[in-house]
Amino acid sequence: MTDTLDPRSWLYPTPRGLYCKPGDFYIDPAVAVPRAVITHGHGDHARPGHRAALATPETLAIMRTRFEDMPDTSQQPLKYGESVRIGDVDVELAPAGHILGSAQAVLAYKSQRIVVSGDFKRRPDPTCPPFEPIPCDVFITEATFALPVFHHPSDMGEIGKLLRSVATFPERTHLVGVYALGKCQRVIKLLRAAGWDKRIWLHGSLMALCKLYQEQGVDLGDIAHVSDAILENFRGAIVLCPPSAIADRWSRRFADPVTAFASGWMRVRARARQRAVELPLIISDHADWDELTATAAEIAPGELWITHGREEALARWAHLHDIPARALALVGYEDEGDD
């Protein structure tokens, strides 16, 4: 007879999402629930309609922008590093390095600590603080790019490809597909870091979140809505748009556009072809294989639980490194960001 607490007894998957029993809350639930802890603002993690939602102030601001102010949700902001007690559980949010406001949920109950990473990456991102490794009994990792074939190249190298193409085709418009939340603002910051200080044009659907990033102190430089252009022929210009707009009627206004798409999935040539992308840019807000395995090795948790992605390869890696692992069958999560 042992009195060791089984972590599965207090945090487990349910059809509504990952449920923390002694705190009576869900983490990133797939449906509206009485009490939710939200790791970040992407649509497959942050959904509308919860009676109460706890998240970083930045994530709550993102949710208000997307969900018409959420008047029916009681909003509980929790800054990185602050702690709050919910039921019998101490909850803390730690930076995940994924997008503005993104957090790992750190749950402490009795003598145990479980860290739910949400989505994360390890390389520097000028739009959010870096991922913080936290010692724990159970680390719940994402696995979007959990195959050894996924190695993300340097993001500045990818931005260099875009700028070389702009220099090579000065008469053409460069149309870059980006996800509206996170990728868009990171690509803008990378362009600024690479020395592109000209106006960057945006599709209308990208404006609201860029404005929010600016209000949150992320300087994006000179950006403008494509529809506000007067006497602008967009030759030599860089225009950002949602990936779906690349092949849309909307794109016909531009001068012989070069189509690009910034995504970790651009490593897969078939996906680039599918989207009719001429210039694939491998820029991801998710950890690649090396980052996933290095993170698990660094944290060295008692157990590794793996969610939404390619669980098998990472589970096999963990077994080879003497870290007990299990795949959490959670439904409702998408590949990357949202479109």
The binding site for Zn ion (CB under 5 A) comprises: 42, 119, 333
Q: Burial of 2 by CB count in 10 Å (0-12 exposed, 13-18 middle, 19+ buried)?
A: exposed
8 A C-beta contact, residue 51 and residue 26: no
Q: In angstroms, what is the minimal distance from the CB of 253 to Zn ion?
A: 31
**Is the Cβ of residue 10 or residue 145 nearer to Zn ion in the bound state?**
145
**Is the Cβ of residue 96 or residue 239 nearer to Zn ion in the bound state?**
96
Lookup result for tokens 């990936």:
243
8 A C-beta contact, residue 145 and residue 153: no
Q: In angstroms, what is the minimal distance from the CB of 101 to Zn ion?
A: 11
Q: In angstroms, what is the minimal distance from the CB of 142 to Zn ion?
A: 6
β-pairing verdict for 200-202 and 223-225: parallel
Q: How crowded is residue 235: how many other Cβ atoms within 10 Å of its Cβ? A: 13
Q: In angstroms, what is the minimal distance from the CB of 287 to Zn ion?
A: 11
Lookup result for tokens 């018409």:
68
Q: In angstroms, what is the minimal distance from the CB of 170 to Zn ion?
A: 35
Buried b (16+ CB within 10 A) or exposed e, 304-323: bbbbbbbbebbbebbeeeeb
DSSP structure class, residue 284: -
**Is the Cβ of residue 174 or residue 286 nearer to Zn ion in the bound state?**
286
Q: Give residue 104's Cα distance to chain centre.
A: 12
Q: In angstroms, what is the minimal distance from the CB of 152 to Zn ion?
A: 15
**Is the Cβ of residue 196 or residue 333 nearer to Zn ion in the bound state?**
333
**Is the Cβ of residue 42 or residue 267 nearer to Zn ion in the bound state?**
42
**Is the Cβ of residue 80 or residue 333 nearer to Zn ion in the bound state?**
333
**Is the Cβ of residue 119 or residue 155 nearer to Zn ion in the bound state?**
119
What Cα–Cα distance (Å) separates residue 48 from each residue in 19, 53, 264, 333, 334? Answer: 18, 9, 27, 15, 17
**Is the Cβ of residue 35 or residue 40 nearer to Zn ion in the bound state?**
40
Buried b (16+ CB within 10 A) or exposed e, 143-166: bbbbbeebebeebeebbeebeebb
8 A C-beta contact, residue 270 and residue 207: no
Q: In angstroms, what is the minimal distance from the CB of 145 to Zn ion?
A: 11
Max CA distance (Å), the chain: 79
Q: In angstroms, what is the minimal distance from the CB of 220 to Zn ion?
A: 20
Q: Burial of 70 by CB count in 10 Å (0-12 exposed, 13-18 middle, 19+ buried)?
A: middle
